[in-house]
C-alpha cells in the first residue's frame, strides 16, 4: 500500500528519557521501510526529557508511517510531529515601519532558502506596502493609536491565524508589545527579534546606552514570544564587533543587519522542525 | 555478570549505508542494559558510508559490550571502536623550537581540558626543555642536520610509538617534512597544524606573501598528516581579522594564536573519538 | 568668500613618506578654517608611501579648499582627492543571473546605507529585470554568446561609463571574464567578488572541491579587478563556519550570503574614499 | 644635543576639541625632528573632547621632546603622556586560585608579546605558587577569611603598588570584591575581567543561569575597575558560540578561554598606551 516514490519525512519526538527509545523508534522506521538520512538526539539533564529529530526516506504513506510510529508514541507518552521535509510553513509576518527584517525574509523565501509561505504581512504602519507588494505578498495595515485600535489589531492577528492556517507568527521588528492574552495564544509558535548587548540595557534607547557605555560588541537575539516579551527561550544569537567611532545611528544600522540574519536563521530552523523546547531553553538540531 | 557501577562508553561505527543499522545498534545497546546519552550519525552521499558515534551509560563490562555488538559489527562489516569516555589518549608530541602550541597543549592537558597523556615531547631542538619540564613531561632532543640525523629522528619516533603505546602523534609546529614512509606508518593517527590564508600561498615565507597581498584574514588549519604534507583531511580551521597596519612579524604572532587553539581543538576532538575519516574529508561529531 | 554653512569634506592624500607632511596638511586645514573630525594615516614600510584620509568641517568653498591645499600637494608631489562626505558615487553594476549581490546593493542603497547612486544595471541575462525595476533602477540585458557579443557587451560597458559619468564598476556576480583591455581601462575603479576557501581551489566547481576536501570555513573576497581576475588587491574578506553535513548546494547558499555582505562592505568603503592602493595591497581607513 | 640614534616615542594627548590642535602638535614634532609613524585621533561628540595618539621616530632626548610639546600642552590645557614604545609597564597581578588568566599573561609576557613586567603576583590562595614560580615571577599569598584579613590584603596591594612602582593592577580572576577605597585609589589603572552573556545575568552562578536560559553565545568583558565592580568602562569583549549540549561545566571552560584572551588583549592595549578614557567609555587606538 506504499506509494511508488519514496518521500522524505521529518519526525520529531519528545518524551521522558529512558533506555530503549532509539531502538523502538528505529524499529518503527524499519517497519515503514525507511532509511534514516539524518538523526539527532539529546537527553536533557535539566528536565529528564529526551529529544529526537529524524529525517527518513521511506515509500510509506503518511497513514502507514503514523501507524508504524503509533505504538512507540503511545508507549513512551511522547509528543511527536511527522512532516514532509521542505513543506512550506504557513507564516504570518507582523511588522511596523522598519523594513530590514521583512525584506530579508521575503527575499530569501522567494529564493527558496527558507521553507515558508507568507500569505500576509500585517503592519501597524503603511510604510512597507510597496516592498511587500513587490514580492507578491498581501499586505494589510491597521494603525494602532490607542487601546481599542491595538485590541483590533490583535483580533485581526488571531483571525488571520485561523483563516490562513498560520503555523508561525514572526514579529519582524513589530514594535508593539503583545498583550498577555495574545502571547498565551501564540505560545511556542511566535518568534521575536531584538537587539542584544553586553551588558544588557534596560529602558529606552538601548543603542544610545550602548554607545555611552562604549560596548565593543552589539548583536541580536531571536527568541520565542512569552508574556515576558524579551525573555522567552532563545533560538539564535549573533554579535558583531564595533568600536568607539560608531555613532548611535551607525550602531543601529549594524544592529539591524544582525537582526535580519538572526531572525531569518531562527525562522528557517523553526520551519525545518529543528527547534524544540526544553523548559525555558531550546534544543536546536542544526 | 555486569559490574555494579555503570560505565560511560563511547562507541564509533563506520560501514556501508543501508536501512536498519540504527535499529540493530540500538538493539545491542538495549541488550547491554545501556542508555544512550549522546548519539550522532551521518550518511555520506559522497562515499555511501554511514558514520555513527554513541555515548552509552551501561553496567556492562567491556567483554559484555563487545559481545552484544559483535553480531551487528559482523553483519554490517563495520569498523568499530569501543572506548571509555575520558580515557587519556597516549600522545607523542613532536616539536621544534616554537613553544606556543606545545605550551597550550601541556597547560590544557594538565588542567584536564583535553583527555590526553603525554609521555614524551620529542624535538629537533633543545629550546623547549625547561617549558616541557615544568609540566613534568619527559623531553628529548635529537638534532637534525642531515639525512642521517633525520632518519635517526624518525626512527626514534617509531620506536617511541611502539615503546610508549602511542595512539596519536601531534606535530606541534615540528618544522621538518616527514618522510613518506613515516607519513604512511602514522596514517590516520598524526595531526599537523599550519597557517592558512585566503588565498593560499605557496612557497617560502607565506606570512610575507600574505602581507604583500594585503590579506584581511589569517588563520590556521589542523589536518591529518598524509604524504602530501599540508593537504591531508581537514579537522579544524579558524581565522582572525587583520588589517594593513600589521607587520609580517605581527601577522606571525596573530597566526600563532590561531595555530595553538586550532591544534588543541583538533587534538581534543580526536582524543574523544569525534573525528572519523570519509575519504578525503573528516566527519566531526562535536 | 566662504559659504555661510560649513561643509563636510573628505580629503585623501598619497605621497612619498617624509617628515612634516601632517604639519603641512593640517596647516592648510587651519587656513581654510577647517576642523578635522576624522583622520587616519599610514606609512608603508613596503613602498615608502604615506597615506592620509581626513574628514574636515569647514565653511570654505571647494576652490578655497583646493587653493589652501595646492601648495602642499605640489610640494609633496601628492595624489589627492577632495570630495564631499556622503556624495553618492556614480556606480555601474554588472550582473548575470544570480540576484543575491544585486539585491543587497540595491536594498541598502535605497535605505541610505551606502553612498552610491546606480544609474544602470547591465546584465548578460534578463533574469533580474523585475528585481532591479522594483528599485526604480534602469536595467539592460545584452546576451553574450560568442566573442562578438562579448565585445559588444564590453563596448556598452565603456560607453555607459562615459555617458553616465560612472566612477565605480561593481561586478555583482557577473560571471564573464573581463577582457584584458577592459580590466586595464577600469583599473582601480572596478570591484569584483568571489568565493574563498582555505585552502584555495583552482578550476571548475570550487564549492564541490571544498565539499570533497571537507573545509570547515567558507568565505568571500572582494578585490579590485586586474588582468589576473581573481588576484587583484584585496579590499575585504569574510568567512563563516560550515561542517561535514553541508551539501554542495548548501555551501553555495552560505557562500552567497558572504559574497553579498562582503561586496556591499567593499563598495561602501570605496564610495567613502576609504580604500587606497599601496602597490599590490589596499590601505583601508575604516 | 639630540642623541645619535633616533628613539621611538609614543605620545597621547587629550583636551577640549577645537581647530588647530593637529597642526600645533605636528609642528612640535617637526621641531623635534620627528617623523610620525602612527597617528590616530578621535573627536568625541559625547564629551567634546579630542583624543590623539602618535608614534614618532625622533633623535630627540626626552627633555627635548617635552620642551617641544610643552607650549602645545599648555595652550590646549591637554593631558599628555610621553613614553618609549615597548617600555615594559610595571604590572601587579592579583589572583585567586584559577590559573587560566595568570598563565596566559605570564606565557605571553615571557614571549615578548605584551610589553609588561610583572614583579609580583599576589593571591588570596597558594594554589598558583608553582605556576608563577616557573616563570620566575615572585609570588605571595595572603589568605582572606574575614574583614581584617581582607583589609590586610588590600593594604599589601597598596604597599606593593608604591614599593614596586606599579603602573597597572590586573585582576586576573581575583575573586574578591575590592573595597570602594581601593577602587578609588586604583582608578584608571586597574583592569578586571568577567564573563558576559546575552542577556546579562545577575546573582550567583551565572553560568548555570546561562545554561538554564539556553544562551547561544558566551563571552568575556575586560573593563576598568570602578566602585561598581562589573560596570566600569569596557576595554574589550569577545564571545564564542555554544549550543544546548554544553553542560554548565563546559560553559565555564569555554568562558575561561574567552576570559584569558580578552584580558590579555586589554592589558596589551593598555600597556601600549592605546586605551584612553572618554567619560564612561574607552577610546581604543588599535
What is the tens place of the pLDDT at every residue in C181-220? 999 999 999 999 988 876 666 667 788 888 888 899 999 9
In the predicted model, what is the mean pLDDT of residues C111-134?
95
Domain spanning B7-84: CATH superfamily: ACT domain (3.30.70.260)
Say if residue C74's pLDDT is above 70.
yes
Of B103, B245, B253, the CB nearest to D107: B103
**Do B23 and A20 count as a contact with CB atoms less than 8 A apart?**
no
In the predicted model, what is the mean pLDDT of residues D226-231?
76
Q: In Å, how far is A261's CA from the nearest CA of chain C?
A: 10
Contacts of A38 in chain B (CB under 8 A): 41-43
**Which residues on neighbouring strands pair with residue D266, listed in sequence order?**
none
| Phi (first) and psi of residue C39, to 5 degrees | -150, 135
End-to-end CA distance of chain A: 33
Return the axis-axis angle of helices D100-110 and B100-110, rounded to nearest 10°. Answer: 160
Q: What is the pLDDT of residue B139?
A: 98
In the predicted model, what is the mean pLDDT of residues C72-88?
96
Torsion angle of C-alpha atoms B48, B53, B59, B62, degrees rounded to 10: 70
Contacts of A280 in chain D (CB under 8 A): 212-214
The full set of domain ranges for chain A reads 7-84, 89-284
| Phi (first) and psi of residue A35, to 5 degrees | -120, 130
What is the tens place of the pLDDT at every residue in B151-203? 999 999 999 999 999 999 999 999 999 999 999 999 999 999 988 876 666 66
Q: What is the pLDDT of residue C196?
A: 82
Q: What is the pLDDT of residue D253?
A: 87
A283 and chain D in contact, CB less than 8 A:
yes
Domain spanning B89-284: CATH superfamily: Formyl transferase, N-terminal domain (3.40.50.170)
Radius of gyration over every alpha carbon of chain B, rounded to an integer in angstroms: 21
- Of A32-36, A243-247, B208-212, C96-100, the one with minimum mean pLDDT is B208-212
C-alpha to C-alpha distance for A175 and B234, rounded to whole angstroms: 45
Model confidence at A1, pLDDT cuts 50, 70, 90, reads very low
Q: Check: CB of residue D14 under 8 Å from CB of residue D78.
A: yes
Model confidence at D210, pLDDT cuts 50, 70, 90, reads confident
User: Percentage of chain D surpassing pLDDT 90?
Assistant: 78
D112 and chain B in contact, CB less than 8 A:
no
Grouping H, G, I as helix, E, B as strand and the rest as coil, residue A198 is coil
Of B211, B214, B234, the CB nearest to C233: B214
Buried b (16+ CB within 10 A) or exposed e, A32-46: bbbbbbbbbbbbbeb
Model confidence at B210, pLDDT cuts 50, 70, 90, reads confident
What is the tens place of the pLDDT at every residue in D59-82? 999 999 999 999 999 999 999 999
In the predicted model, what is the mean pLDDT of residues D231-237?
91
Q: Check: CB of residue A251 under 8 Å from CB of residue A210.
A: yes
| CA B249 distance to own-chain centroid | 28
Grouping H, G, I as helix, E, B as strand and the rest as coil, residue B147 is helix
Write out the three cell numbers for D237.
569583549
- Closest to D27 (Cα-Cα) out of D90, D79, D70: D70
Q: Check: CB of residue C96 under 8 Å from CB of residue C173.
A: yes
Say if residue C2's pLDDT is above 60.
no
Q: Which residues contact C273 (CB under 8 A, 6 or more apart)?
A: C10, C12, C53, C81, C83
Q: What is the pLDDT of residue B6?
A: 63
Residue of A11, A23, A53 to mutate, interface with B, max B Cβ within 10 Å: A23
User: Percentage of chain B surpassing pLDDT 70?
Assistant: 95
C43 and chain D in contact, CB less than 8 A:
yes
In the predicted model, what is the mean pLDDT of residues B32-48?
91
C-alpha to C-alpha distance for A57 and A40, rounded to whole angstroms: 15
Say if residue D228's pLDDT is above 80.
no
**Do B111 and D134 count as a contact with CB atoms less than 8 A apart?**
no
Of B20, B29, B42, the CB nearest to A30: B20
Say if residue D16's pLDDT is above 60.
yes
Catalytic residue among B130, B146, B228, B230: B230
What is the tens place of the pLDDT at every residue in A183-233? 999 999 999 998 887 666 666 778 888 888 889 999 999 999 998 766 789
Q: What is the pLDDT of residue B64?
A: 95
Say if residue D202's pLDDT is above 70.
no
Contacts of C39 in chain A (CB under 8 A): none
| Phi (first) and psi of residue A89, to 5 degrees | -80, 135
Q: How far is CA D47 from CA A84, D44, D52, in A?
A: 58, 6, 15
What is the tens place of the pLDDT at every residue in C94-105? 999 999 999 999
- Of B48-57, C193-202, D78-87, the one with minimum mean pLDDT is C193-202
Residue of B8, B32, B39 to mutate, interface with A, max A Cβ within 10 Å: B39
Q: Would strands B35-43 and B7-16 be described as parallel, antiparallel, or unpaired?
A: unpaired
Of C45, C217, C235, the CB nearest to B237: C217
Contacts of C253 in chain A (CB under 8 A): 113
- Closest to A24 (Cα-Cα) out of A6, A37, A11, A38: A11
Of C30, C37, C43, the CB nearest to D43: C37
In the predicted model, what is the mean pLDDT of residues D206-219?
87
Say if residue D231's pLDDT is above 90.
no
Model confidence at D213, pLDDT cuts 50, 70, 90, reads confident
What is the tens place of the pLDDT at every residue in C18-58? 989 999 999 999 999 999 988 999 999 889 999 999 999 99
Any catalytic annotation for residue D230? yes
Mean pLDDT of chain A: 92
D39 and chain C in contact, CB less than 8 A:
yes
Write out the three cell numbers for B141.
632532543
Q: What is the pLDDT of residue C1?
A: 41
What is the tens place of the pLDDT at every residue in A17-51? 998 999 999 999 999 999 998 899 999 988 999 99
D29 and chain C in contact, CB less than 8 A:
yes
| Phi (first) and psi of residue D240, to 5 degrees | -140, 150
User: Percentage of chain A surpassing pLDDT 70?
Assistant: 95
Catalytic residue among C45, C83, C228, C230: C230
Amino acid at each position: 500500500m506504499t506509494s511508488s516514490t519514496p518521500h522524505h519525512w521529518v519526525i520529531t519526538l519528545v518524551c521522558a528519557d529512558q533506555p530503549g527509545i532509539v531502538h523502538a523508534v528505529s524499529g518503527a522506521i524499519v517497519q515503514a521501510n525507511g532509511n534514516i538520512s539524518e538523526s539527532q538526539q539529546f537527553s536533557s539533564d535539566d528536565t529528564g526529557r529526551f529529544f529526537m529529530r529524524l529525517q527518513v526516506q521511506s515509500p510509506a504513506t503518511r497513514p502507514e508511517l503514523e501507524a508504524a510510529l503509533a505504538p512507540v508514541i503511545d508507549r513512551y507518552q511522547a509528543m511527536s510531529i511527522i512532516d514532509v521535509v521542505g513543506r512550506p510553513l504557513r507564516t504570518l509576518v507582523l511588522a511596523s515601519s522598519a523594513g530590514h527584517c521583512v525584506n530579508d525574509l521575503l527575499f530569501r523565501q522567494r529564493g527558496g532558502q527558507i521553507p515558508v509561505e507568507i500569505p500576509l504581512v500585517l503592519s501597524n504602519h503603511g510604510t512597507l506596502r510597496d516592498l511587500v507588494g513587490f514580492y507578491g505578498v498581501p499586505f494589510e495595515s491597521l494603525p494602532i493609536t490607542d487601546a481599542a485600535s491595538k485590541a483590533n489589531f490583535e483580533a485581526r492577528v488571531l483571525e488571520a491565524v485561523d483563516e490562513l492556517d498560520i503555523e508561525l507568527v514572526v514579529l519582524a521588528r513589530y514594535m508593539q508589545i503583545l498583550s498577555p492574552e495574545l502571547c498565551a495564544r501564540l505560545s511556542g509558535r511566535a518568534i521575536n527579534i531584538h537587539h542584544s548587548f553586553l551588558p544588557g540595557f534596560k529602558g529606552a534607547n538601548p543603542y544610545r546606552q550602548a554607545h555611552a557605555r562604549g560596548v565593543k560588541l552589539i548583536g541580536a537575539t531571536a527568541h520565542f514570544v512569552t508574556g515576558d516579551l524579551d525573555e522567552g527561550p532563545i533560538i539564535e544569537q549573533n554579535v558583531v564587533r564595533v568600536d568607539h567611532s560608531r555613532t548611535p545611528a551607525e550602531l543601529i544600522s549594524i544592529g539591524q543587519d544582525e537582526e535580519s540574519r538572526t531572525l531569518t536563521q531562527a525562522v528557517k530552523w523553526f520551519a525545518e522542525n529543528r527547534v524544540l523546547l526544553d523548559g525555558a531553553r531550546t534544543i536546536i538540531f542544526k
